[in-house]
Structure 1
Amino acid sequence: MSESSLMASLLLVAHFALQVGIAMRVLLRPHREPAARMTWVILIFALPVAGFVAYLLVGETNIGRRRVERLRQSLARLPAPRLVTHPNAAGISEPDGISPDSIRPDSIPPDSIPPEHRHLFRLGESISGFAPVSGNQARLLADSTATIDALVADIDAARDHVHLLFYIWLPDNNGRRVAEALIRAAGRGLMCRALADDLGSRRMIGSEHWRRMRDAGVRLARALPIGNPLLRVLTGRIDLRNHRKIVVIDDWITYCGSQNCADAEFLIKAKYAPWVDLMVRFEGPIARQNQYLFASDWMPHVEDDMDALLRRPLRQLPSQPASAPFPAPLSPPLSSGISQDALPAQVIGTGPTVRWSAMPEVFEALIYSARQELTITTPYYVPDESIQAALCASARRGVRTTIVFPAHNDSRIVAAASRSYYAELLAAGVRIFEYPKGLLHAKSLTMDGAISLIGSANMDRRSFELNYENNILLHDPALTASLRERQQQYLADSVPITPEQVGAWSWRQRLWNNTVAMLGPVL
């Protein structure tokens, strides 16, 4: 055998050994579905180089050891409860016990959550450590502009601090309005902290408005900074992002929903506009739970201890004695259809450093708990097998099960994957609608006229396993009715999808949809 032939044989053996080694890593990696393992193993052997390179880039959920250590240190400084994490999620150990007393400021009356729904909140508490709290008021905001109007008014009326976290913050009209409000608040001496995802908000971060906020005294940070992309992939996945949308003002006002800090016209993807979002403004103890979630994101990026703020008694600003009354609500009066003094609610924060199954568990528990009606809006639907099965089972047992998707998705890949599931859903009796008047970006679930889930999480694998998400689970017939009315508006403007339409799709369209969906477990 010639020297060149020997070298070629050695390289071939080394390459095969590398493939086998990476395949073994795939098989030994905890908490991966068998379908995902099989798909990755096939790719690794079918694509000699691209397969294992792809796995090394996006095959594992890993934010990097240094970031994990900073997160661990930050959570250790915060008062209990600590965020419940999976012991194998990037090396963070799960606390032995959860003591959520520090953020249970209002006791829950025994009858405020009916017995048939209490298990949902126990599940939520097992994820983030937050027990449901009562004493909240809430208002469903009319649209994107109304949300920014309310947010700017709240910032202008703030007395102590303003905390913001957005996945996408654009330097457009609404983005600049919020930036200017923060500059004014910092000028009044308030502590203003703003955290924006380094990828989603890169345009704002690179703009003059970011520099002006920093110069005005607003404390700024970039969530999950990318740095050098070529080096970043060596320390963790570059596509793990902070998808949360959190606003906390004076430890008493908070916002939750799907809206980013941007115009509805969303000029960076103008052909899909308007972005149709859903946001709820809360006043009450639920803000403290969002405050905790914000702190858990902020402190790993900034040398800034928020421990004292989280230990402060609620309804008490630092300049006030403990007996001083808290200021009157700073917003316009709440509508009469919204609960004024109860509204049990609970923050659920998920992400790659929380147990891997957290977000799917929440969706599945809600779906299986429905008895009369289940209505869902989501822009991105790439479910795992168990969620698809849960939705089909919901319709088959007689629950009126409805899902509304956007007709024109900003992701061609996600649109194709979503439509691959239509036939099975329709056959089970699930009603499917597509909204044509813009990109329906609202993420909402209402169940049996009493339970609602709103927030940032989509029903796709990215929200399940890769992104940091924040949601609020609540029990309130009045607010759920308002959310159900909004969902009904979407339905009135939507087009029903029938089995006949799906059956008429060409073989090329079905082949594309199913091929994309097949790659879902690895994406």
Structure 2
Amino acid sequence: MYYLFYILLALALAFFSIVSAGHALINKRDPRSSVGWIITCLVFPLVGPLAYWGMGVNRIYSRARRWHRRGKPAPRLQHPEAPQVVAPLPEELRFLRELRVLSDRVVSSPLSPGNAIEPLENGEDAYPAMLEAIAAAKRSVHLCTYIFDGDETGRRFVHELKEAVQRGVVVRVIVDSLGEKYSRTTAAELLKGTGVRFARFLPLRPGGYLNLRNHRKILVVDGTLGFTGGMNIGDRHLSRSGERYVRDLHFRVVGPVVTDLEATFLDDWRFATGELLQAPLYPQELPGRALVRAVSDGPDKEFRKLNWIILGAISCARQRVMIVTPYFIPDRALISALVTAALRGVAVVLVLPGKNNLPFVQWATRAYLWELLQHGIRVYLQPPPFVHTKFMTVDGSWSLIGSANLDPRSLRLNFELNLEVYDVRFAQLLEHHCIQAMAGSHQTTLKEVDSRPLPTKLRDGAAKLFSPYL
């Protein structure tokens, strides 16, 4: 009798493993991911298939498609008195017209004219501006962040959000449920009883989503003033935090594109709470000259929009490409694009942290550098403190800013929000920031990478094997 039980159990486990491996074979687009999950499912009965169905299956995309089939698409805001206008590229940006066509085809939000974007360096610049905006709010405050620490900075935000509620302002806050765990005192605990409407994005639970995190950073006040970039909320972005100090850039945004920032927040609010909202619309001023498009990307989207736009921008470059990013784990397509640009005579510069806060990511990154260096791509390593800044510029004319890193987690797994900016003045401002970073950094060489001790090369190569999952 016991033998029959064990035989049936073995057959059930084998069937579960084969079905799971077959699902990965049919549905995974990346062959490396497919091979990894197939091996995991077949070599580790029960544990492998459970891990696959818990972490490897993207049910987010299926959920989003069900919403659309029900006839309730995510809200996209447009003022009835301001019909969408196809903004032409200025003469000096005409060489980017193919990139413009690509973006028009893969992104639903329009390229809107008349925007102004102001860089805010570190928490010393960004937090006072954000808190001042919340303090002046009259109608609504919408805040989405990956990390909301319960330290002094977090409590200052909580105070201003509470004060806004008491003035009659509608305040909604989304915090990623994994990012919330970075702080012992959570945002939910601090906001309890304040009247702030709070939502966790994809709450962690057994069999839930360890990946597929909301990495966006969005603050929209009264539907007309926005903040976005790479900066979370916490003392770590203040210089007085000592060894924990993390340098970063954030951005203050005004103009029509703020409407799309709010639309992205409302999409996430619906995702987290099931509540479909249509916010009141207010006429947007035209305070600047920048053409800007909001690019929201994530595992609920059919296309890898950000990845395609990045590759398209590199292919349009004629003189230089400057990339500043804290996490650089490129796939083959990105490596090919950068190398091809360098071989065309484009000056390609990559600025990375000299010491990463995630050692295994730094190990994997180092395993990729030789291929870039041998084709003339310049790589600079910034000294501590850790630099979390991320942006990309092409020919001093086009920029990409926002929350996404150049790694598989941002470009495949996370919900991200970026802005592509067609504006010479703004791009040159970012280029100047990059040049300053290069001046204070160490330029690594192919000789340095090749001279790593054998144990270090083996360690870095082993970390590279896990690149799709880092």
1:493-504 equivalent positions in 2, closer than 5 A: 493-504=440-451
Counterpart Cα distance in 2 of 1:103 and 1:43: 53
Counterpart Cα distance in 1 of 2:190 and 2:352: 39
The CA deviation at 1:48 is: 4.8
The CA deviation at 1:522 is: 5.0
Q: Is 1:447 matched up with 2:399?
A: no
Q: Is 1:307 matched up with 2:278?
A: yes
SS of the residue corresponding to residue 501 of structure 1 reads helix
Residue 263 (structure 1) aligns with: 235
Residue 225 (structure 1) aligns with: 203
Q: Is 1:239 matched up with 2:211?
A: yes
Residue identity opposite 1:25 in structure 2 = H
Contact 1:452 1:474 survives alignment (8 Å): yes
Contact 2:402 2:419 survives alignment (8 Å): yes
The CA deviation at 1:354 is: 0.7
Given candidates 73, 77, 80, the residue that maps to 1:76 is 73
1:417-456 equivalent positions in 2, closer than 5 A: 417-456=364-403
Q: Is 1:120 matched up with 2:99?
A: yes
Name the CA shift for 1:174/1:191 in 2 (closer, same or farther; >3 Å): same
Given candidates 11, 16, 19, the residue that maps to 1:18 is 16
Residue 346 (structure 1) aligns with: 293
Contact 1:121 1:131 survives alignment (8 Å): no
Counterpart Cα distance in 2 of 1:11 and 1:212: 48
Residue 60 (structure 2) aligns with: 63
The CA deviation at 1:216 is: 3.2
Per the normalisation by structure 2, the TM-score is 0.90
Name the CA shift for 1:15/1:109 in 2 (closer, same or farther; >3 Å): closer
Given candidates 242, 245, 250, the residue that maps to 1:279 is 250
Counterpart Cα distance in 2 of 1:140 and 1:64: 33
Counterpart Cα distance in 2 of 1:385 and 1:116: 26
SS of the residue corresponding to residue 480 of structure 1 reads helix
The CA deviation at 1:63 is: 3.4
Per the normalisation by structure 1, the TM-score is 0.82
Q: Which runs of 5+ in 2 are unaligned?
A: none
SS of the residue corresponding to residue 60 of structure 2 reads coil
Q: Is 1:363 matched up with 2:328?
A: no
Counterpart Cα distance in 2 of 1:490 and 1:469: 25
Name the CA shift for 1:402/1:34 in 2 (closer, same or farther; >3 Å): same
Counterpart Cα distance in 2 of 1:9 and 1:119: 61
- Percent sequence identity is 29
Residue identity opposite 1:20 in structure 2 = I
The CA deviation at 1:431 is: 0.9
Residue 226 (structure 2) aligns with: 254
Residue identity opposite 1:440 in structure 2 = V
Counterpart Cα distance in 2 of 1:169 and 1:63: 24
Residue 194 (structure 2) aligns with: 216
Residue 34 (structure 2) aligns with: 37
Contact 2:121 2:248 survives alignment (8 Å): no
Contact 1:456 1:471 survives alignment (8 Å): yes
Counterpart Cα distance in 2 of 1:492 and 1:368: 27
Q: How many residues align structurally?
A: 469
Residue 486 (structure 1) aligns with: 433
Residue identity opposite 1:180 in structure 2 = H
Residue identity opposite 1:43 in structure 2 = T
The CA deviation at 1:4 is: 6.5
Residue 156 (structure 1) aligns with: 135
Contact 1:251 1:287 survives alignment (8 Å): yes
SS of the residue corresponding to residue 428 of structure 1 reads coil
The CA deviation at 1:12 is: 4.7
Counterpart Cα distance in 1 of 2:436 and 2:391: 13
Q: Deviations over 1:301-356 (max 9, x none)?
A: 336543142xx2424xxxxxxxxxx7xx9xxxxxxxxxx53110000000010124
Residue identity opposite 1:454 in structure 2 = I
Aligned-residue Cα RMSD (Å) equals 3.0
Given candidates 124, 139, 144, the residue that maps to 2:118 is 139
Counterpart Cα distance in 2 of 1:125 and 1:107: 10
The CA deviation at 1:186 is: 1.7
Counterpart Cα distance in 1 of 2:159 and 2:262: 22
Q: Deviations over 1:243-267 (max 9, x none)?
A: 0000111222111211111223589
Counterpart Cα distance in 2 of 1:106 and 1:214: 43
The CA deviation at 1:416 is: 1.5
Counterpart Cα distance in 2 of 1:362 and 1:102: 30
Name the CA shift for 1:404/1:55 in 2 (closer, same or farther; >3 Å): same
Contact 1:104 1:133 survives alignment (8 Å): no
Counterpart Cα distance in 1 of 2:462 and 2:316: 32
Name the CA shift for 1:51/1:217 in 2 (closer, same or farther; >3 Å): closer
The CA deviation at 1:38 is: 2.4
Residue 406 (structure 2) aligns with: 459
Residue 164 (structure 2) aligns with: 185
SS of the residue corresponding to residue 472 of structure 1 reads strand
Counterpart Cα distance in 2 of 1:479 and 1:33: 36
